[in-house]
Chain A
Amino acid sequence: MNAGGGTRRSRYAGLAYVAPALLFVAVFVLFPLGRLIHLSLTNASLLGGSRFVGIANYTKAFNDPVFWQALRFTIRYTIYITPILMGLGFVFALLTAAAHPLAKAARSAIFLPVVIGLGTSSLLWFWLLDEQVGLINRVLMDLGLIAHPLVWWVDADMGLWGVIISVTWKVVGFGTIIFVAAIQSIDPEIIDAAKIDGADYWQRVGRVLLPLATRSILLTTLVSAVGSMLAFDQFYIMTAGGPRSLTFTSVYWMYQNSFIYFKLGYGAALALILVVIIFVGATAQIVLTRKRSRQ
């Protein structure tokens, strides 16, 4: 009896402890999500007026060629940029993990663009890559690498790479700092032991540093991949969805429908579809990570 009362009491105490978090989630996640689901089942317009339309918005999305094109493009962007950010981030981390003042200065330089807003950096790179006044074209021409200035935004592939270059410059410092922290947290004795065992530098990186930094790498990969799936600002500023709607991302297409075409209901349906896709992808990645950790 007493024991039961104690369990109930501790259960209430536990609930009290998690109540603020539950309240936060209910107010800021569940309620908006519920509203979003409701909105997605209507033909709500930004200019006012709303009528229940059932799953019509979802049917429309599945028959919308631009939605599929935008989704494919977003996945392609994520697949391209994620390994670049992770690989380059890890290389920079290896190069700057030492406690040497020069390494610290290099780390700061690499991290600096992270604190610049994505909109600002996108605008900066838009003009750097401009065919008339852009510095990049001037340098490439002066080096004799190109005969005429490149028009980056005239082609969807070049536009994509222009954005990847700018985002890499802006974001790579984030992964670098995480990886530096992961490398520095490895017990130096383990590395010394590897050295005594005769492991050369690359063997130490491949057999010691990389496995021990796996959790940080996977976490950063997850954050980076989710961020890339939600890409908007950089494409809005640099490619404006062009040429010919080929560089619309999923979020851009959602924005376009909600705020340019005023179709809030359809935009909400697109948002929910994207939420589900990202949720499934992130869950799969977390499950795989856990399996690997157990192994």
Chain B
Amino acid sequence: MTRSLRIAGLTLALSAPLLGAATASADDLSMWVRASAANAAPHLTDLWNASHPDKIKLTVIPDNQMVTKLATGVQANQVPDLISFDLIYMPDFMRAGFLIDLTDQMKADPNAAKVAKAFSDLATYEGKLYGTGFTPDVSVLVYNKDLFKQAGLDPNKPPTSVPQIHEFAKKIHALGPDTYGFYFSGSCPGCNIFTTSPMMVASGAKLLPPDAKTEPLQGDGVKGVLEQFHEMWAEGLVPKSAQADNGQNFVANFKQGKIGIQGAGGFLISDLKKDVPNMDFGIAVLPGMKDGEASAFVGGDVVAIPKGSAHEKVAREFIKWELTDEAQLEGLAKNNILPSRTDLADNKYFQADPRIITTAKAVGIGYVPWVFHFNDMVNSDSSPWIQMLQTAIFDGKVDEAIATAKAKMKEIASE
């Protein structure tokens, strides 16, 4: 026994240099991930690292620096092997030639066809595919069931139209001056494209123009939703602080149990379970102006390979792997993160909480705008999108706000 142990030890010692060589030959990949996805991404990369010789090292980049960092990185030829970023920047990055064409790989991969349409649509430019879903999120309606009960509302019947949100919000605010029916971050363009725009889209509106020829902000849904929001604001159903909230308190008020209803992301489910385990809350799809209308904004991150990646082959393998059942279920679903593949929305890990299934299914009905200049049109602090919301909701000048935003969006689209 002792002798065989010695032989085994000797064999191991002699083979150590070879093992070392094998380890050294494996490539370590670098991956940039934006801060918003920094909680979700490690679940996937850790799983990959546990079973693959080529390890992935994550670097977290602040959300608002990702575009600048990638743009300057590409120009300086200092890019990571993989990059996970806000899907909304895909059109700009694809047009700029920052990303490697993955069309052949994606077409040959049966799993790629099962990825939510919003991702594949957005990752397509001139007929070519440049990325796929990585860590999705989707907007939903969240409501406080405890407040619903106190206000005499059925906690199992969430509002199914925007006017009904208004109606329920009145009843909830009647509970007390510090309890509010509804909340939205009034100075946060990104939060509102995520949660408010789907209500307009669900009502048939078309918001952002993909080119200069297309009319922006089409459809009655835009005006209808803005008017409802303005009325709720004017009636005091929304906290005053909402006007100045640039996203820092996007869900903070809801967590304190002071808000009845608000739009949020699927991420809030695990946040609420962890931070306020005693809160009884429900999840529903974001409604339109009429009963039965629903939509969502598919957000989250795509994964792509920047041009200049030093380990393109392994990076491609990772992208193929992250769409497998193993990665989608054991890396994402097991950790309460939505899978990119819609066929896995209803999976064994989500059975315990139907709210997650509702959220996962929202990915299938969700939309995402395919536009250049998304920052100019929507995401910046001075965008026509946020100016329209503020002028319409806080000043009550709905028609003027829409007309001004239309003109500005057209101007941006023509650049």
A positions within 8 Å CB-CB of B: 46-49, 66, 131-132, 151-154, 240-245, 248, 256, 259-262
Contact = CB atoms under 8 A, between A and B. Distances in A.
B375 A242 contact: no
Nearest to A133: B252
Contact of A244 (B67, B68, B74, B387): B387
28 contacts: A46-B68, A47-B71, A47-B98, A48-B71, A48-B74, A49-B96, A66-B382, A132-B256, A151-B243, A151-B244, A240-B246, A242-B187, A242-B244, A242-B246, A243-B187, A243-B244, A244-B390, A245-B382, A248-B381, A256-B380, A259-B68, A261-B373, A261-B375, A261-B380, A262-B67, A262-B71, A262-B92, A262-B375
B252 A46 contact: no
- Interface size class of chain B, counting residues whose CB lies under 8 Å from the partner chain: 20 to 34
Nearest to A126: B248
Contacts, number: 73
A256 B187 contact: no
A161 B96 CA distance: 42
A154 B240 contact: yes
B63 to A, nearest CB: 12
Contacts of B244: 151-154, 242-243
B46 interface: no
B270 interface: no
Interface in B219-257: 240-241, 243-244, 246, 249, 252-253, 256
Contact of B240 (A66, A151, A261): A151
A154 B381 contact: no
Nearest to A242: B187
A12 to B, nearest CB: 40
Contacts of B187: 153, 240, 242-243
Which among A132, A244, A256, A259 has the highest number of chain B CB atoms within 10 Å? A244
Given A47-B92, A132-B252, A242-B246, A260 B240 contact: no
A151 B238 CA distance: 14
Contacts of B252: 132
Contacts of A154: 240-241, 243-244
B187 to A, nearest CB: 5
A79 B407 CA distance: 35
A232 to B, nearest CB: 13
A241 B382 contact: yes
Which among B244, B246, B373, B390 has the highest number of chain A CB atoms within 10 Å? B244
Nearest to A48: B96
Contacts of A262: 67, 71, 92, 375
B97 interface: yes
B280 interface: no
B146 interface: no
B375 to A, nearest CB: 5
B28 interface: no
A261 to B, nearest CB: 5
A189 B105 CA distance: 86
B170 to A, nearest CB: 22
B390 A243 contact: yes
A243 B67 CA distance: 24
A46 B67 contact: yes
A243 B386 CA distance: 10
